[in-house]
Amino acid sequence: MRIMRAILVLLIAASPAAASPRRCHPGDIAALAAISKAFGNYYSAWTQHDSQCCGGGIHCDPFTGRVTGLSLFQDANLTGTIPDAVAGLVHLESLMWHHLPAISGPIPPAIAKLSNLSMLIISWTSVTGPVPSFLGALTKLTFLDLSFNSLTGVIPASLAALPNLNGINLSRNRLTGAIPPLLLSKSPDQAYLVLSHNNLTGSIPAEFSTLGFAHVDLSRNAFTGDASALFGR
């Protein structure tokens, strides 16, 4: 699947072997230092070798030296909340924070300032609060994964307005309410939608009959009515 291949590319690109030795931009060094400080200098290695933009989950553009990817995953010792300092990485295209069970608190509005973001993954954490409506400001977003958290409230209608969004995974949360009828309506073929294991209600949108799903999972909710819209194409 195209989305899963993109995630694999991100993981490979964020590894030390694949990262560019390009000199990192001073503004991005400052932002990384602030993020590290917010986590108790847990990632102080980010600035120990600040002449190069590589390693430690950081991926940079090989021509500009700007940080375009930040990937943190599978670290039970990392504690705290998502810092506002992440907004300082103004060229960030991919943000992946996965399997960080001690990260808590809400998703901060600072995320909405990452106007170049195409992939946002915050999964398997203890993040709480709503799925923020301000994510609708991320017009370049193609894939959103907020699964395996403790998010509550409704799925914001603002997500349906994202012109490039092709994949959503909000499974394993505590979401309620109905699916926005135009969710993924701007997606080309091969849309990806996983909303399983929530407390969603209402009917499955008839608008889904116009979408070509590569994968869809709406199980373990409390939907009512006819599900034939999922097989409209």
Q: Has residue 93 been placed in a domain?
A: yes
Rounded to 5°, the CA angle 14-47-29 comes to 80
Q: What is the mean pLDDT of residues 41-65?
A: 74
Q: Has residue 26 been placed in a domain?
A: yes
Q: Has residue 29 been placed in a domain?
A: yes
pTM of the model: 0.88
Q: Would you say 94 and 118 are in contact if contact means Cβ atoms under 8 Å apart? A: yes
Q: Has residue 24 been placed in a domain?
A: yes
Structural domain boundaries, residue 89: 2-153
**Separation of alpha carbons 231 and 122, rounded Å:** 30
**Separation of alpha carbons 11 and 17, rounded Å:** 11
Q: Has residue 161 been placed in a domain?
A: no
| Residue 123 bridge partners (DSSP) | 98
pLDDT digits (tens, 9 = 90+) for 124-161: 999 999 999 999 999 999 999 999 999 999 999 999 99
Q: Has residue 137 been placed in a domain?
A: yes
Q: What is the CATH number of the domain that holds 20?
A: 3.80.10.10
Classify each residue of 54-66 as buried b or exposed e, where b means 16 or more C-beta atoms within 10 Å of its C-beta. Answer: bbbbbbbbeeebb
pLDDT for residue 187: 87
In this model, does residue 14 exceed pLDDT 60? no
Q: Has residue 47 been placed in a domain?
A: yes
Among 17-21, 175-179, 197-201, the least confident range: 17-21
In this model, does residue 185 exceed pLDDT 80? yes
**What is the number of domains present in the chain?**
1
pLDDT for residue 69: 96
Return the closest-CA partner of residue 73 out of 129, 24, 132, 15.
15
Q: Has residue 20 been placed in a domain?
A: yes
